[in-house]
């Protein structure tokens, strides 16, 4: 019996190590085999301690931000050669690496300013790596407004989740820009965004799925979310639905792509009859994805639940990616 128990423990350990968990925001590129369940890395390195100090918040990035960062926050396109065709130039990449350094982020206003600058650089060139920050910019602004106007109960938690969640985007972007090791989900987004035979609607929705399915549950753990935060969590989720029309219009303007039909189905459940198929309408559901992420964060906090959550996250991401690939191949999106 003792031998059987030992073998079972070894098997569970092996499963946990096989299903790679996303790194904490400061650790992209390191060994990704350990689930980020302790919540004591990026947030605890100064963010959590400073939350009370920033409760009222500044409307401008803090003065102690590195001067190089401030320069490009005020003028992200202050370069002689920002683009190389429809891609960002090496000079722009240097700026993007500076802006996406999560270790220098100061507060939620700095997060918003950096996302805006990153989006602007990509948009200027029409570089499809900017599809996601074009949407993320609007979402982040609205969430910060909700924190300022006390639309959620725990404003400190709201600030913490904005910081950690965005930090995961920043670090994965930084890894992709430097030919490093972004998570499997973000790697798929940048791969698809680079392909001329892939629709931009498919690429941007894959990025949304990556952030919501993979990054979100680990961010919830990292900021020490509890059941008391569940209502705030779903309030913030509703805000993304609220401003969907705004970033859909931005995607049309900057990237000449029209994801309205797909995203109306994704966010609102308003699917064009018969256009997308039953698998799509069931699987690509924003509220279902967010509920699963909340449940997976609960699993990640259990000593026995990490490998289960990692498996669920991995399976969910690739299932949705497969559905989007089918829609793309059929010319539906």
The reported pLDDT for the residue numbered 79 is: 74
The reported pLDDT for the residue numbered 296 is: 97
Per-residue pLDDT of 246-303, as tens digits, reads 999 999 999 999 888 888 888 877 665 556 665 566 567 888 899 999 999 999 999 9
The reported pLDDT for the residue numbered 10 is: 40
The reported pLDDT for the residue numbered 53 is: 38
Report the alpha-carbon angle 249-253-254, nearest 5. 120
The reported pLDDT for the residue numbered 50 is: 32
Structure tokens, 179: 């030919």
Residue 231: how many other CB atoms lie within 10 Å: 12
83: helix, strand or coil:
strand
CB 202, CB 327: distance < 8 Å: yes
The reported pLDDT for the residue numbered 265 is: 81
88: helix, strand or coil:
strand
The reported pLDDT for the residue numbered 268 is: 73
The reported pLDDT for the residue numbered 35 is: 33
Burial code of 12-48, b = ≥16 C-beta within 10 A, e = fewer? Answer: eeeebeebbbbbbbbebeeebebbbbebebbbeeebb
| pLDDT lower than 70: segments of the chain | 1-68, 74-78, 270-283
The reported pLDDT for the residue numbered 279 is: 57
């Amino acid at each position: 019996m003792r031998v059987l128990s030992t073998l079972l423990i070894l098997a569970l350990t092996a499963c946990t190590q096989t299903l790679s968990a996303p790194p904490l925001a400061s650790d992209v590129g390191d060994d990704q085999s350990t689930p980020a369940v302790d919540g004591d890395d990026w947030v605890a390195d100064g963010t959590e301690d400073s939350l009370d100090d920033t409760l009222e918040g500044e409307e401008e990035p803090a003065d102690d931000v590195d001067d190089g960062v401030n320069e490009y926050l005020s003028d992200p396109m202050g370069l002689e050669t920002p683009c190389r065709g429809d891609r960002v130039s090496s000079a722009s990449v240097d700026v993007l690496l500076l802006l996406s350094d999560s270790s220098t982020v100061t507060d939620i206003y700095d997060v918003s300013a950096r996302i805006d600058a990153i989006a602007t650089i990509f948009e200027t060139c029409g570089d499809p790596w900017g599809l996601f920050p074009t949407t993320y910019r609007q979402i982040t602004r609205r969430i910060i407004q909700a924190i300022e106007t006390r639309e959620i109960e725990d404003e400190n938690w709201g600030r913490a989740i904005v910081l950690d969640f965005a930090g995961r985007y920043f670090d994965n972007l930084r890894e992709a820009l430097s030919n490093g090791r972004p998570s499997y989900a973000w790697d798929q987004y940048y791969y698809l965004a680079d392909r001329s035979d892939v629709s931009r609607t498919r690429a941007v929705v894959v990025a949304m799925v990556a952030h919501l399915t993979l990054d979100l549950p680990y961010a919830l753990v990292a900021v020490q979310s509890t059941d008391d935060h569940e209502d705030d969590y779903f309030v913030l989720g509703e805000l993304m639905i609220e401003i969907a029309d705004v970033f859909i219009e931005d995607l049309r303007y900057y990237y000449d792509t029209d994801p309205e039909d797909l995203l109306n189905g994704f966010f609102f459940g308003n699917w064009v009859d018969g256009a997308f198929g039953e698998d799509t309408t069931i699987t690509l559901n924003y509220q279902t994805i967010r509920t699963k992420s909340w449940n997976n964060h609960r699993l990640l906090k259990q000593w026995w639940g990490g490998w289960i959550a990692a498996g669920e996250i991995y399976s969910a991401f690739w299932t949705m990616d497969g559905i989007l690939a089918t829609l793309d191949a059929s010319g539906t999106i």
